């Protein structure tokens, strides 16, 4: 289980959208979860993913950085409304293979329908 990295360590001071830390992180790691510290839903996602043999990269977001994080999200994903429309808080948020998968709802739905595993494999998170 990788250490949760505090948000303040992620973003360099002055960045453009393309160079933003989050984009980089999402691109570099096959499975990324952004969650509020101590959130139990994040724990659920983690357990589900670990059950598939995946070790997700988890980033702890605290209250001050929430707005900024959401802002960053909207720069990377094609459809910013996807996040904005979700009930607050829009956490946890999961990226797989550089693309937004969604929150716990979407992860559960993909898990039940059997779509999650191929997605993880494609992103290189699974080797089996």
Between 52 and 75, name the residue whose CB sits nearer to other proteins.
52
Considering the complex, state which of residue 12 and residue 118 has its C-beta at the smaller distance from other proteins.
Answer: 118
CA distance 126 to 105: 22
Smallest gap from residue 86 Cβ to other proteins (A): 12
Take residue 18 and report the two structure tokens written for it: 């393309």
Question: Would you say 17 or 43 has its CB closer to other proteins?
Answer: 43
What is the contact surface with other proteins in residues (CB under 8 A)?
Answer: 38-41, 43-45, 47-48, 51, 104-105, 108-109, 111-114
Nearest distance from C-beta of residue 37 to other proteins, angstroms: 11
Q: Are 13 and 7 in contact (CB under 8 A)?
A: no
Phi and psi of 61, rounded to 5°?
-110, 130
Beta partners for residue 57, in sequence order: 32
């Amino acid at each position: 289980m990788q250490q949760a990295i505090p948000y303040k360590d992620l973003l360099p001071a002055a960045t453009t959208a393309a160079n933003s830390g989050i984009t980089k992180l999402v691109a570099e790691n096959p499975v990324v979860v952004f969650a509020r510290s101590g959130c139990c839903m994040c724990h659920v996602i983690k357990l589900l993913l670990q059950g598939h043999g995946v070790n997700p990269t988890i980033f702890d977001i605290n209250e001050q950085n929430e707005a900024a994080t959401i802002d960053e999200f909207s720069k990377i994903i094609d459809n910013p409304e996807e996040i904005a429309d979700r009930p607050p808080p829009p956490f946890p948020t999961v990226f797989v293979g550089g693309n937004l998968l969604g929150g716990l709802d979407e992860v559960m739905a993909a898990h039940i329908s059997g779509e999650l595993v191929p997605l993880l494999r494609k992103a290189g998170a699974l080797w089996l």
